């Protein structure tokens, strides 16, 4: 099964891991970048500081020499030797300066020393234009109260820092005229030595001159006094961020690895948690839709299955069928053998059903011993019939549980949605149920397809059931009595109490019609008690003959039945010996063990027990010996054929002989003619019952005919 939450979680965890990784990388990237950028800025400031320092030093040299009285005197006296010894020779000293010029250009008096020819003064180190520029600068500075200037300048194509001041010792510098007083000019070349010095000083690598403005952060413009860019300093930017990254690369990678492993772990764990949660939820929903005993879908599971749009669509297309199954004989097993065996039966039956259905249909246990199947497809109706037959067939073999054999059957109804008759699933389920109900009532051994007529009958039966309840309250039920006479002299031996219902709307309804319906509800218990009570009241303790009362198998399921009967009899001062209970043969076949115990209760309490309708079911004569019967009543169908069919006569004779040998009395039911009466007598029957001797009549009429319990003569019998 798919687990949507699992997929979603995996997606989330993956996304979270990916995002954190991206975030980490971005943070590292920006951090490294910021560090690097900051370093470049600091470098630029440091280098600017270095340049400023050199400028300040050069300017300091200019003032030092320029504001020296002996220097001015030596210049004025043109003492070249002095000037060289005390000033010009400094050019040869490292870390001093590269050019020294003293000039009074107006007078053409210019002496200069540079590295090329330190001992011979040169007048042409600066062009006249450059000298004029320097003097201009000085004049501007003087006007502002500054008495020395510095700026960048190219000399012979090489960049220099040039510092200048007017010569003279007078501390009042404003006294000097920047227009015609001699200038002291000191030049420092921004050369390799200068660069390495600054580079070393500030730990900047590869400091160089660049010709072009790179606009990069790691470049610094050197400007002349007019603000023109003379040169650019470029350097290898220090990259502390990159450096740091390189240094921390291994720990970083380890961190990411650990993070990933952790993330995978968390992801797995979350997945597992989600799985358990989802699995739990799935199980819970499944459980709510599953019958835990059989593992089949339950009613809810069935509802969910047919609620799906595709199922609804199939039904709307006339391509769906529902099979409804109700087990026969299960309730009896459950009551008699116990719930444990009952559960085993349900499990085995479910398994057989699953095998019978295979994957052709959806099977559900609707509750109790009810099952339902859904079929979808173009031939759902035909397939439903095949599967329904297979379901019935699957129960043919008895169920072996704990060494005992149990037999259950199935009443099966089918309802289909077809092109001619489109039905929804709720309607199909209802119709299949109706068909099943009918199949059960008719004890059909094959599936019954729903028909609108069944619905009417179903409705009729439901109405009937309701009316019976009401009718019992209103006293619409009564008991009629039919005599049973001795074959020898036709004297009254006993009577059979037969229930009658006269409905105000339906008129007289026969027990064959209403008893089977009452048997499906608790009504049968009330009817049974009603009959006995009525018998007690109408026949009483002094009748001198016993009364046979019919018991429905459904009544026998009540373990208290015998006690209830005894209580009723006690209340009317009657003894169980006055009562014969009659059970039809079918009960024995359906349900051996428990029936025997219950019947024994009746026998022990003093009741007589008769086997009714013998020959209609499948009971073999062997049963007769096993049960505590006192009378066997041979079914009317044999009697009516006797005389017509010699075989039947032979069978009846055999019955009579056999029952005699088993010390059982045998009664012939439904004797309608004198002929039958004589024949049956001849065959060796003990008792006779039938219209020939009296129809069932109300108590009053019965007493009128039989005279308050006096032994009636055959000629006194009530008229037909």
Which residues contact ligand C2E by CB under 6 A? 482, 498-499, 510-512, 515, 531, 550-552, 582, 612-613, 636, 669-672, 689-691, 696
Is 582 near Ca ion (CB under 5 A)?
Answer: yes
In three-state form (DSSP H/G/I as H, E/B as E, the rest C), the secondary structure along 595-629 is HHHHHHHHHHHCCEEEEEEECCCCCCHHHHHHCCC
Residue from 423, 550, 640, 718 in contact with Ca ion (CB under 5 A): 550
Residue 290 interacts, among Ca ion, ligand C2E, none and using kind-specific CB cut-offs from 5 to 8 Å, with: none
CA distance 720 to 704: 14
Q: Is 640 in the site for Ca ion (CB under 5 A)?
A: no
Maximum alpha-carbon separation in the chain = 194
> What's the closest the beta carbon of residue 453 comes to Ca ion, in angstroms?
29
Cβ closest to ligand C2E, residue 580 vs residue 582: 582
Q: What φ, ψ does residue 712 adopt, rounded to 5°?
A: -80, 150
Cβ-based nearer residue to ligand C2E, 297 or 495: 495
Q: Which does 447 bind (CB under 5 to 8 A by kind): ligand C2E, Ca ion, none?
A: none
State which residue, 137 or 612, has the beta carbon closest to Ca ion. 612
- Is residue 410 within 8 A of residue 393, CB to CB? The reply is no
For residue 372, the partner it binds in ligand C2E, Ca ion, none, with Cβ less than 5 to 8 A by kind, is: none
Question: H/E element holding 223?
Answer: strand 219-223
Nearest to 20 by CA among 269, 258, 271: 258
Q: Select the binding partner of residue 482 from Ca ion, ligand C2E, none (C-beta < 5 to 8 A, by kind).
A: ligand C2E
Residue 59 makes contact with Ca ion by CB under 5 A: no
Query: Residue 370 and residue 331: Cα distance in Å, rounded?
Result: 11
Instruction: Write b or e for each residue in 130-151: b if 16 or more Cβ atoms lie within 10 A of its Cβ, otherwise e.
Output: bbebbbebbeebbeeeebbbbb
Instruction: Check residue 585 for interaction with Ca ion (CB under 5 A).
Output: no
Q: CB of residue 669 vs ligand C2E: minimum separation in angstroms? A: 6
Q: Which of residues 413 and 696 has its CB atom nearest to Ca ion in the complex?
A: 696
Give the range of 35-43, 116-124, 605-613, 689-697 binding Ca ion by CB under 5 A.
605-613
Q: Pick what 656 binds: Ca ion, ligand C2E, none; C-beta below 5 to 8 Å, kind-dependent.
A: none
Site for Ca ion in 658-697 (CB under 5 A): 669
Cα dihedral 87, 89, 94, 98 sign: positive
What does each C-alpha distance from 245 to 34, 56, 235, 254 come to in angstroms?
Answer: 12, 38, 21, 13
Instruction: State how far the Cα of 660 lies from the Cα of 655, in Å rounded to an integer.
Output: 8
Helix (H) or strand (E) holding 394: none
Count, residues in the chain: 720
499 binds, among ligand C2E, Ca ion, none (CB under 5 to 8 A by kind): ligand C2E
Please choose which of ligand C2E, Ca ion, none residue 551 contacts, taking the beta carbon within 5 to 8 angstroms, the exact cut-off set by kind: ligand C2E
Cα angle for residues 107, 110, 116 (degrees, 5° grid): 165
Among Ca ion, ligand C2E, none, what does residue 691 contact (CB within 5–8 Å per kind)? ligand C2E
Q: Which does 552 bind (CB under 5 to 8 A by kind): ligand C2E, Ca ion, none?
A: ligand C2E
696 binds, among ligand C2E, Ca ion, none (CB under 5 to 8 A by kind): ligand C2E
DSSP 3-state percent helix, strand, coil across the chain (nearest 5): 50, 20, 25
Q: Which of 659, 708, 653 is nearest to 681 (CA)?
A: 653
Q: Which two tokens stand for residue 319?
A: 């391509």
Nearer to Ca ion, 336 or 582 (CB): 582
**For residue 649, what are its two tokens?**
């006569």
Q: Are 237 and 36 in contact (CB under 8 A)?
A: yes
Q: Which position's Cβ is nearest ligand C2E? A: 690
Nearer to ligand C2E among residue 321 and residue 671 (C-beta): 671
Angle at 305 between CA 302 and CA 307, to 5 degrees: 105
94/507 with CB nearer ligand C2E: 507
First to last CA, the chain: 75
> Least distance in Å: CB of 673 to ligand C2E?
9
Smallest separation, CB 470 to ligand C2E (Å):
19
CB of 563 to ligand C2E, least distance (A): 18
Please say which residue, 188 or 582, places its beta carbon nearer to Ca ion. Answer: 582
Which sign does the torsion angle of CA 47, 49, 52, 56 carry?
negative
- Binding partner selected for residue 348 from ligand C2E, Ca ion, none, CB under the kind-specific 5 to 8 Å limit: none
Task: Give the residue with the Cβ less far from ligand C2E, 409 or 696.
Answer: 696
Residues 6+ apart with CB under 8 A from 634: 614, 615, 652, 655, 666, 667, 668, 669, 685
Q: Which of 326, 590, 612, 686 binds Ca ion (CB under 5 A)?
A: 612
| Cβ neighbours for 660, distance < 8 A, ≥ 6 positions apart | 666, 684
Return the SS3 of 93: coil
- Going by C-alpha positions, the residue among 518, 390, 388 that lies closest to residue 466 is 518
Query: Of residues 613, 629, 668, 686, which one binds Ca ion by CB under 5 A?
Result: 613
- 417 makes contact, choosing from Ca ion, ligand C2E, none, with CB < 5 to 8 Å by partner type, with none
Compute the least distance from the CB of residue 708 to Ca ion, in Å. 24
Q: Which does 672 bind (CB under 5 to 8 A by kind): ligand C2E, Ca ion, none?
A: ligand C2E
Q: How far apart are CB 317 and ligand C2E at their closest, in Å? A: 47
Distance in Å, CB of 641 to ligand C2E, minimum: 13
Q: Does residue 580 interact with Ca ion by CB under 5 A?
A: no
Minimum CB separation of residue 589 from ligand C2E in Å reads 16
Report, in Å, the least distance between residue 573 CB and ligand C2E: 22
Binding site for Ca ion (CB under 5 A): 550, 582, 612-613, 669
């Amino acid at each position: 099964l798919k687990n949507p939450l699992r997929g979603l979680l995996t997606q989330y965890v993956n996304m979270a891991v990916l995002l954190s990784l991206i975030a980490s990388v971005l943070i590292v990237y920006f951090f490294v970048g910021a560090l690097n950028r900051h370093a470049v800025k600091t470098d630029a400031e440091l280098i600017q500081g270095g340049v400023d320092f050199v400028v300040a030093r050069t300017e300091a040299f200019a003032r030092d020499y320029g504001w020296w009285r002996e220097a001015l005197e030596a210049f004025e006296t043109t003492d070249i030797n002095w000037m060289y010894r005390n000033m010009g020779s400094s050019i040869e000293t490292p870390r001093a300066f590269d050019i020294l010029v003293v000039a009074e250009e107006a007078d053409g008096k210019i002496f200069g020393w540079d590295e090329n020819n330190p001992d011979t003064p040169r007048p042409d180190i600066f062009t006249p234009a450059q000298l004029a520029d320097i003097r201009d600068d000085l004049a501007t500075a003087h006007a502002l109260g500054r008495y020395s200037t510095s700026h960048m300048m190219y000399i012979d194509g090489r960049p220099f820092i040039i510092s200048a001041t007017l010569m003279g010792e007078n501390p009042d510098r404003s006294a000097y005229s920047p227009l015609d007083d001699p200038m002291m000019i000191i030049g420092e070349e921004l050369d390799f030595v200068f660069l390495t010095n600054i580079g070393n000083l500030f730990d900047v690598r590869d400091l160089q001159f660049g010709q072009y403005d790179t606009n990069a952060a790691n470049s610094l413009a050197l400007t002349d006094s007019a603000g023109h860019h003379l040169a650019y300093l470029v350097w290898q930017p220090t990259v502390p961020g990159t450096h740091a990254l390189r240094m921390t690369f291994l720990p970083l990678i380890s961190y990411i690895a650990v993070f990933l492993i952790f993330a995978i772990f968390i992801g797995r764990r979350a997945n597992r948690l989600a799985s358990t949660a989802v699995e739990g939820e799935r199980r819970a929903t499944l459980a709510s839709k599953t019958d835990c005993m059989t593992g089949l879908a339950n009613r809810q599971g069935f509802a969910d299955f047919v609620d799906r749009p595709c199922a609804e669509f199939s039904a709307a297309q006339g391509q769906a069928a529902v099979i409804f199954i109700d087990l026969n004989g299960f309730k009896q097993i459950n009551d008699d053998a116990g719930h444990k065996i009952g559960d085993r039966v349900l499990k085995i039956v479910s398994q057989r059903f699953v095998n019978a259905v295979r994957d052709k249909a959806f099977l559900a246990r609707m509750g109790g011993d009810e099952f339902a199947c859904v079929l979808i497809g173009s031939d759902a109706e035909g397939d439903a019939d095949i599967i329904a037959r297979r379901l019935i067939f699957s129960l043919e073999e008895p169920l072996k549980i704990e060494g005992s054999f149990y037999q259950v059957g199935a009443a099966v109804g089918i309802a289909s949605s077809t092109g001619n008759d489109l039905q929804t699933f709720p309607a199909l389920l209802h119709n299949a149920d109706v068909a099943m109900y009918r199949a059960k009532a008719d004890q059909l051994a094959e599936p019954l397809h729903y028909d609108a007529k069944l619905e009417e009958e179903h409705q009729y039966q439901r109405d009937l059931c309701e009316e019976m309840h009401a009718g019992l309250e209103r006293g619409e039920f009564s008991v009629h009595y039919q005599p049973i006479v001795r074959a020898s002299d036709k004297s009254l031996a006993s009577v059979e109490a037969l229930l009658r219902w006269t409905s105000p709307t339906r008129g007289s309804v026969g027990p064959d019609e209403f008893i089977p319906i009452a048997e499906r509800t608790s009504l049968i218990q009330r009817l049974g008690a009603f009959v006995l009570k009525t018998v007690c009241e109408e026949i009483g303790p002094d009748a001198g003959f016993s009364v046979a009362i019919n018991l429905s198998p459904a009544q026998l399921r009540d373990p208290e039945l015998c006690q209830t009967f005894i209580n009723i009899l006690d209340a009317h001062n009657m003894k169980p010996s006055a009562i014969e209970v009659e059970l039809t043969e079918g009960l024995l076949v359906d349900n051996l063990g428990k029936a025997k115990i219950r019947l024994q209760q009746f026998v022990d309490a003093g009741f007589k027990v008769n086997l009714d309708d013998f020959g209609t079911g499948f009971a073999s004569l062997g049963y007769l010996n096993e049960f505590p019967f006192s009378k066997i009543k041979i079914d009317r169908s044999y009697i009516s054929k006797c005389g017509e069919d010699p075989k039947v006569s032979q069978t009846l004779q055999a019955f009579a002989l056999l029952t005699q040998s088993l010390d059982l009395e045998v009664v012939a039911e439904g004797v309608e003619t004198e002929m039958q009466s004589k024949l049956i007598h001849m065959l060796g029957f003990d008792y006779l019952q039938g219209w020939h001797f009296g129809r069932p009549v109300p108590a009053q009429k019965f007493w009128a005919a039989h005279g308050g319990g006096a032994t009636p003569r055959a000629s006194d019998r009530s008229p037909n």
